[in-house]
Structure 1
Amino acid sequence: MQYAGDRPGDDAKTAAAGSGNGVFVKGCQKFVTTDDLQVAPASTSLMLSLCQKFGVQDPADLEQSILRFTSEKITSLLKRSLTSNQPLTGIHFNVPISPDDATLSMIPGNLCPEKVNETEDKIGDVKIKILQTKINSAVLYAEVGQDFVDLVFGLLSVPLGSMTKAFGQRLSNGCIDNLYRSILGSAEGYMGRDCQNLLLAPELAAFSGSSASQILQVNESAPRKLNINSCFMCFKIGGFSNLSRCRVEYNCRYTNCQNYPKTAQLCELDPKSPGGNSSNSDAYVKRAPQSFMVTDDLGVRPLSLDGSLRVVSEGKIQMKDLVEKEVTLTKFQVMELQRAALMSRGALSSVLLPPKKKKNLKHLRY
């Protein structure tokens, strides 16, 4: 059933789905995906190299089984690929996924250099105030404005392929980068050029660009446009399901509508500003005088006295051991903050503190 305003399905995509090709790959080629998600066409040489790699001398020692991937298992595979080099083993043997605190608490090494190059580009005027311990063991929270909140919210719109392109092996502790390298490696030639570009350099949805995507140099799709054989007034009345009402004739006269022309163009609007009167297309939060609190694990909430006291209290740190500092973010720090958001429960501490062992405040959860 089609409701007024529903856009018809894409006939071209429907036709492609009915062809012999898959969504991304050509034809009915069989592939081998290793435990760490390296993808390659099935071949005898690949089989021999895998047996040699894992020390398999007798094929009788191997057992074949069929894995059926439900939506829950696909979600589990994605999570495991970000934290483990053996996601398929984990799914097949139902290995419990380690708690986030155990695998993502800290990024190996420190991300912030001891001294920031004075000539390094600053990200506009993004300044934040951080409340941290005097001994540089942890950042409790940052007092920020709307510009910083828009930056971290913008991370959610950046495709995973673009993140992998920017950070490569530094993206996570898992093996998602193996999938990315397979596209131009062992699986090259088995998918069309457009599909390769879609995976290697995916574009943002229209109007979802942000300062975060600009730093990662992710392109934004152009707004969609659609020409219809109806005037706009008739479209508002009948939607896509009744466009023909605009052209109903009797005795060489239009009976339902006298408007001309009998065509119109529909244009996609910015959901952040459907009225089309916004001067800041990067904004996700309302433009109003408001300060926000961003905790070490990137929880965002309006700044309040009650919230500040609660974070300090749950951190079990005395007031005399705390200090407030003002930081002007560099491009390097913003990029590392984007990476830390995928890998760490202490993102702010990992990026903004000097390279020392930091206290992991596991109890700060919201």
Structure 2
Amino acid sequence: MEASGNVEPVQLSMKLTVHKDTNKVLFAEVGKDFADVLISFLTLPLGTIARLVAKEGDMGPVKIASLSSLYESVVNLGDEYMFIDTCKEMLLQPRNPMEDYCRRMKLNVDDTEPTKYYVCNNLLDCVLETNVMCSTFKNYDCDCGSYLEKQISRNTFIPLVGFVKNKSCFIVTDDLCVLPMSLDTMVSIVKKMGIEDMSTLKEILVNVTKNQLIDLLKCSLVSKTPLTDVFLRKKPCIQKSDGNIVYVCGDFIDEQCASVNVKIMYQKSDGKILCAQGKDFANFLLSILTFPLGVVVRLLQGNSSVGSVDGLYNSVVHLNEDLFNTKELKAKLVDLGLAPQFKLSNQVLPISEVVAPTYYCVTKSSKSKLTDFYLTEYRSVVDPSTKCKTVVMDDPISENESSKVLLRGPTVFAVTDNLVVSPISSMPLLSLSNNTNINLGDIDVKVVSIGLNEGLSILKASLTSSSALTNGLAHLVTNVKSEDYV
């Protein structure tokens, strides 16, 4: 709910406690509205994050490891390579699974268009059938032969605003851990920093703008001190990558996930992967853009190594459920899934999607003319002129759950080390390396299987390294099947 026109822009207030000697934020005292925004960061799909951090803001655009180049490659990918036109929209404007809660917050950084619902142009005739078809994307075919392009509203009452209860107060550390308000906690933070002289501390009242919140999102992904970076330094203190990344499956060892084969081209001398080839692999990588940030941290078991994100997620996990609007809401946040209908078939990672509610289409007519129509989660008929039919949601990708993909065959797709996805025909050999003196005799091509372990490694590397394939698959380069390179 943001201001527009000549109305003053909405701002959030908070109080910073700063160590004067180091010019560093120790903690912030915040209310519900600011806490809601921080928690909402975890609900943002990676595609949305890539789009937001590329905005100028007050701090300028920020690139996130290989995620930004993956997103840009989708921007540049021709529509003819997508399975259907909608696929590109799903990747560049992915849906937030907690959209209804975020939309009602005082300040919402997510600029994705709200989900719209479309029913048949001939709705009055369709309600005479058993069910009514509906889509969250426009111009799909209705079973009757017409198009789903008549926008319909949802009569859904969501009394909750944001995630935590009204009038709740929190302490937020410099690395974005959200803690219940407590004097003991404040003292503990000061002691942990080795500060004994309280006269070296000062308090600053801050009014936070939407641009600053977007800058805070940027810094949360690259820095361990995002509050200091945004409100004192005015620039991100970028955390350096740890190098090779190997993720151990841990609790996911029994999960039933798909695996895909991919050819990798790499340099034998240093193990640098120049590119990978395979449509199924490219589909998997593109699907990462639909993953909410909280899902990523959960899959990586709170060890994503992405800026301050792990601390934020883990602190939400440990917050008392009584601080949230409902206990069920906290459970949803901790165990997020993809937005409805966004999960691909043969997914490499153990990720679910949020189950959409069952909707009913209520129509009212008079003298064979439609006078009112809306979607509701409750079946009700109040008079003979009203009809209430079960809604069948049309899948934007496929009618068959076993064949949900993003890219069109038979085109062969290649992926560079920094996750640029493109048709192999548009990827010149020399573009695979910054070194134009690359020795072809040093190149080898091998076939590897990308399963759960590799998928998690690449997911982590996509957010922490500009050489995502090299770092994510380094453990496979010396232990895979080799093919002759022609």
Q: Residues 238 and 129 (structure 1 numbering): CA distance in 2 closer, same or farther, change over 3 Å? A: farther
Aligned twin of 1:196: 330
What do the CA deviations read for 1:262-310 (whole angstroms, capped 9, x no partner)?
A: 333333221123xx4x464531112x21110100011100011x51323
Aligned twin of 1:51: 190
Aligned twin of 2:393: 268
Is 1:68 matched up with 2:207? yes
Q: Residues 177 and 187 (structure 1 numbering): CA distance in 2 closer, same or farther, change over 3 Å? A: farther
Q: Which amino acid aligns with 2:220?
A: S
Bigger shift: 342-351 or 262-271?
A: 262-271
Provide the C-alpha distance between the structure 1 equivalents of 2:254 and 2:328, rounded to a whole number of angstroms: 36
Q: Which amino acid aligns with 1:284?
A: L
Provide the C-alpha distance between the structure 2 equivalents of 1:76 and 1:82, rounded to a whole number of angstroms: 10
User: Which among 281, 302, 309 is matched to residue 423 of structure 2?
Assistant: 302
Provide the C-alpha distance between the structure 1 equivalents of 2:191 and 2:364, rounded to a whole number of angstroms: 66
Is 1:178 matched up with 2:311? yes
Aligned twin of 1:247: none
What is the CA-CA distance between 1:96 and the residue it aligns to? 2.5
User: Where do 1:3-22 residues align within 5 Å?
Assistant: 5-8=150-153, 11-13=156-158, 15-17=159-161
Checking the alignment, whether the CA contact within 8 Å between 2:259 and 2:348 is kept in structure 1 is no
What is the CA-CA distance between 1:140 and the residue it aligns to? 0.8
Is 1:208 matched up with 2:342? yes
User: Which among 138, 153, 172 is matched to residue 33 of structure 1?
Assistant: 172
Aligned twin of 1:327: 448
Is 1:162 matched up with 2:295? yes
1 or 2, which has the higher strand percentage? 2
Provide the C-alpha distance between the structure 2 equivalents of 1:69 and 1:298, rounded to a whole number of angstroms: 34
What is the CA-CA distance between 1:94 and the residue it aligns to? 3.4
User: Which among 239, 242, 246 is matched to residue 111 of structure 1?
Assistant: 246
Q: Residues 103 and 148 (structure 1 numbering): CA distance in 2 closer, same or farther, change over 3 Å? A: same
Q: Which amino acid aligns with 2:223?
A: S
What is the CA-CA distance between 1:216 and the residue it aligns to? 2.7
Checking the alignment, whether the CA contact within 8 Å between 2:226 and 2:236 is kept in structure 1 is no
Q: Residues 318 and 95 (structure 1 numbering): CA distance in 2 closer, same or farther, change over 3 Å? A: farther
What is the CA-CA distance between 1:214 and the residue it aligns to? 6.0
Return the index of the structure with the highest Cα Rg: 1
Q: Residues 78 and 322 (structure 1 numbering): CA distance in 2 closer, same or farther, change over 3 Å? A: same
What is the CA-CA distance between 1:325 and the residue it aligns to? 1.3
What do the CA deviations read for 1:36-69 (whole angstroms, capped 9, x no partner)?
A: 1111222221222222223444444322223333
Checking the alignment, whether the CA contact within 8 Å between 1:167 and 1:339 is kept in structure 2 is yes
Please, what is the CA RMSD of the aligned residues?
A: 3.6
What is the CA-CA distance between 1:223 and the residue it aligns to? 6.0
What do the CA deviations read for 1:77-132 (whole angstroms, capped 9, x no partner)?
A: 22222222111011112342357xx734xx4444289xxxxx99996462111111
Structure 2 unaligned segments of length 5 or more: list them: 1-115, 119-148, 375-383, 478-486
Aligned twin of 2:412: 291
Q: Which amino acid aligns with 2:449?
A: T
SS at match of 1:170: coil
What do the CA deviations read for 1:160-207 (whole angstroms, capped 9, x no partner)?
A: 111111213420242212222222424443112122112101122111
Aligned twin of 2:283: 150
Provide the C-alpha distance between the structure 2 equivalents of 1:196 and 1:214, rounded to a whole number of angstroms: 27
Checking the alignment, whether the CA contact within 8 Å between 1:35 and 1:85 is kept in structure 2 is yes
Q: TM-score, normalised by structure 1?
A: 0.74
Provide the C-alpha distance between the structure 1 equivalents of 2:256 and 2:441, rounded to a whole number of angstroms: 32
Checking the alignment, whether the CA contact within 8 Å between 2:348 and 2:451 is kept in structure 1 is no
Paired residues in the alignment total: 317
Checking the alignment, whether the CA contact within 8 Å between 2:300 and 2:456 is kept in structure 1 is no
What is the CA-CA distance between 1:213 and the residue it aligns to? 5.6
Checking the alignment, whether the CA contact within 8 Å between 1:161 and 1:180 is kept in structure 2 is yes
Is 1:318 matched up with 2:439? yes
Percent identity for Structure 1 against Structure 2 = 25
Checking the alignment, whether the CA contact within 8 Å between 2:223 and 2:237 is kept in structure 1 is no
Bigger shift: 122-131 or 35-44?
A: 122-131
What do the CA deviations read for 1:307-337 (whole angstroms, capped 9, x no partner)?
A: 1323246443121221111112232111211
Q: Residues 212 and 57 (structure 1 numbering): CA distance in 2 closer, same or farther, change over 3 Å? A: farther
Q: Residues 120 and 222 (structure 1 numbering): CA distance in 2 closer, same or farther, change over 3 Å? A: closer
Q: Which amino acid aligns with 2:352?
A: V
Aligned twin of 2:10: none
Structure 1 unaligned segments of length 5 or more: list them: 18-22, 114-118, 242-252, 255-260, 357-366
What is the CA-CA distance between 1:222 and the residue it aligns to? 3.2
Checking the alignment, whether the CA contact within 8 Å between 1:136 and 1:353 is kept in structure 2 is no
Q: Residues 81 and 112 (structure 1 numbering): CA distance in 2 closer, same or farther, change over 3 Å? A: closer
User: Which among 279, 282, 307 is matched to residue 404 of structure 2?
Assistant: 282
SS at match of 2:455: helix
Q: Residues 271 and 336 (structure 1 numbering): CA distance in 2 closer, same or farther, change over 3 Å? A: same
Provide the C-alpha distance between the structure 1 equivalents of 2:229 and 2:205, rounded to a whole number of angstroms: 15
Q: Residues 329 and 196 (structure 1 numbering): CA distance in 2 closer, same or farther, change over 3 Å? A: same
Q: Which amino acid aligns with 2:246?
A: L
Provide the C-alpha distance between the structure 2 equivalents of 1:11 and 1:206, rounded to a whole number of angstroms: 17
1 or 2, which has the higher helix percentage? 1
